[in-house]
Structures are given as structure tokens and as C-alpha cells.
Amino acid sequence: MREFTDGSTAIVRGALAAGCTFFAGYPITPASPILMTMMRELPKVGGVAIQAEDEISAVGMCIGATMAGARTMTATSGPGISLYSENIGLAVMGEVPLVVVDVQRLGPATGGATTVGQGDVQFVRWGTAGGYPVIVLAPSSIPECYSLTMRAFDLAERFRCPVFLLTDKELNYTMNTVELDEYQDVPVRERGAGSEGPGMPKTQDSMGLFAPYRYHPPDGVPPMVHFGQDVVLRFTGSTHDERAFITKHPPTVDALNRHLAAKIEEHRDEIELVTADLEPGARTLLLSYGVTARAMREAVQKARGGGQKVSALTIHSLWPTPETAIETALDGVERVVVAELNLGQYRREIERIAHGCEVLGINRVDGELISPDQFLEVIR
């Protein structure tokens, strides 16, 4: 069986399948369909969906709802991410599980509200103070919009951090025919219980006192504790100890900040996700993500049909950079072609990894998609 649908609908279905219970957003093209559909569908399963007064309030509501026990998601576009920035930093510091959908459009500023772009690749990675890592997933098809939304919720719970789903206007708005068996469910882990019984906090520091955070070992992730769950919970965006008291004690500050990085960076193997289509003997590797990867895959089929050897790598986990998969794909390659709807933002990452290879870019910022023929011109 098949259906005629779009990426926005698939994202909403993925969120519902993942157990999302709270959504807050503010209308912005091209993310508004997610807001409208969540407001229609989430109450049907006992959840709450709110149109906030602005983007700042929307993400703030999600953080508050998460700390009260909800599983939350919000959706916006590039200008909205600008306004989300401070609260994204709060979610990083407070170790708050949260899924943020960024439906990209052509920027900067108001830019092309109804025009496709992939200009937020570096923005979502570095768009909040401090420079600490976040997780960013990028679907390239409607079924992937569904499965990667579920995976985003699972990773948010696993690492207690904001996880971005980075998509784009064309993928979310364009209607496509999809085979129903292409949708793949992804297991989403339950949130860790905050206590083992009345008055018995599960998370304790070395003195046996209630501690909602844990910095040792650095890459460990403490169980989540909610407001009103047998304990008095403190929450702050300032540098704090394991009991959430503000501190400037250098060893504690160091342990906190190294923990925020290590819990993600040292578990890259759990996050890394790519689709590798590697041809033995190929000297050219095509690399892309999002909607652009669809044209890349078509170009590979045409090139191979013409007797040319070429490999392709679709990146689904943009951040942290899937270095192991990229290095594997680079084996024996002389030239890497990175295609994206910006001026070469992800190409910078490939240049850092692809030592000894020529790295080329296919780039468009005129509001049009990269075509399979543009890939074929470079292959030839």
C-alpha cells in the first residue's frame, strides 16, 4: 500500500509514535504545518499543543514541560532558531531532553520564506553560547522524516540534551507517493525514573545527598528527575555542582563543562548514522545530506548505468561529524564532491578529514535545487 503525503506529516507521526506529549511553537514558514498538525493531532492522544506568543516562549515552554515530566518537541525555521538560541543554551546546561525541528529556508534574515535552502548547518551546531556539542540529524526522504524524528527523541532521552532535526522547505512541503512499508519504527527508550521510592532519590552524590546531575564519569548521563517527584529540584543556567547549586569552584566547573562535551563526543558510535553506497575501485565519492542527497542518488544510478565507478555517502547524523563512516568511505578515493544548498558549510568538515583528497563543492544559493545533471557534470 502507498500514500500521498509530505515530510511535515511524517515528522508529526514520528513524534506521536515516539510518545511526544507536549508541543509548543510559533507560526513560521515553512515549519507552520508541523505546528498546525500537532495542534490537531496531539490532543487526540492526551497530549498538549500550544501556539505560543513567540519563539522564545515556545522553546521555554518546552523546557519547562520536560522538567515537569513531558516528552517535548518544537518546530521553527532559521529566524526562529535565532530566537531559540538562549534557551537552547539553557537546555544544554540543564541537560534537558528536547527535540527541535528546523525546517530550513533561504536566508539570511527573512530571506526567502518559501524558498529552499540548507544554510543552517553550522548555525544549529554553533548557534548558542559556549560551543558545547549538540546532536543534529538530517532526513533526506519522507520515511526518514518519520524514523529520524523517533531517533531524535531516543537520543534526547539517552544523552539528556537538545537534539535537532534539520530538514528543509522542499522535503517538508513537497507531496510524494510513499510505500507504507518504507516507514520504520525506531525504539525510543523510556525516561529514567527519578526515584526508587518515596523520599529515596535515585541520583546521589558521594555524600549520599540528592544530586540531579552527575559529572563522574565525565561521559555518564544521570537519570532524569522531574519537578514534584519526591524531591525539591533546583534548575539553573549558571555553572553549578551536582546538586544544582551555583558554584565557581574551579574543579567543579571543569568537571561540569567536560561532562557536557564528553557525554556526546565519547559516544559518537551510538549517534553516527549514514547511508553508504560504496563502489569498489571508485575514485570519486559524492557526499550530501537532506533533500540534496536525493539528486545525488539518482546521479549515481545514471553514472553507473553509463559504466562509471562512483561512490556515494548520505549523512544522516550531521553533528557530531560521523568521522568513522566518512574515513571508511574515503578509502581509495582521490576526489570528494560535497553538494549542499549553501556556500560550502559542511564541506569544511570534509576538508578537515579528507587529507590527500581533492575536495570539491556543488553549491546553490539561488533558491533552486541541485539537479542530478550537476552531479554528473562533476563526475565526468
- Residue 256 maps to a domain: no
CATH number of the domain to which 371 belongs: 3.40.50.920
278 and 172 in a common domain? no
172 and 309 in a common domain? no
Peptide bond into 97 cis (omega under 30): no
- Residue 58 maps to a domain: yes
Q: What is the pLDDT of residue 224?
A: 87
- CB-based burial of residue 112 (10 Å sphere; 0-12 exposed, 13-18 middle, 19+ buried)? middle
- Residue 135 maps to a domain: yes
- Residue 228 maps to a domain: no
Residue 331 CA to its chain's centroid (Å): 27
- Residue 171 maps to a domain: yes
User: How many separate domains does the chain show?
Assistant: 2
Helix (H, G, I), strand (E, B) or coil at 208: coil
Angstrom distances, CA of residue 86 to CA of 44, 109, 129, 227, 373: 32, 18, 8, 22, 41
Domain boundary among 131, 150, 182: 182
- Residue 295 maps to a domain: yes
116 and 6 in a common domain? yes
Residue 71's domain comprises: 2-182
Domain boundary among 147, 182, 217: 182
Q: What is the pTM of this model?
A: 0.95
Written as tens digits, the pLDDT of the chain (380 aa) is 999 999 999 999 999 999 999 999 999 999 999 999 999 999 999 999 999 999 999 999 999 999 999 999 999 999 999 999 999 999 999 999 999 999 999 999 999 999 999 999 999 999 999 999 999 999 999 999 999 999 999 999 999 999 999 999 999 999 999 999 999 999 999 987 443 334 433 566 656 677 889 898 999 998 888 887 656 678 899 999 999 999 999 999 999 999 999 999 999 999 999 999 999 999 999 999 999 999 999 999 999 999 999 999 999 999 999 999 999 999 999 999 999 999 999 999 999 999 889 999 999 999 999 999 999 999 88
Query: Could you give the CA distance from residue 173 to residue 195 in angstroms, rounded to a whole number?
Result: 43
Q: What is the pLDDT of residue 111?
A: 93
Domain boundary among 125, 158, 182: 182
283 and 159 in a common domain? no
26 and 166 in a common domain? yes
170 and 46 in a common domain? yes
- Residue 263 maps to a domain: no
- Residue 121 maps to a domain: yes
Say which residue the cell 513567540 belongs to.
Answer: 54
DSSP strand pairing (135-137 vs 176-179): unpaired
CATH number of the domain to which 158 belongs: 3.40.50.970
Beta partners for residue 344, in sequence order: none
Query: Could you give the CA distance from residue 337 to residue 158 in angstroms, rounded to a whole number?
Result: 33
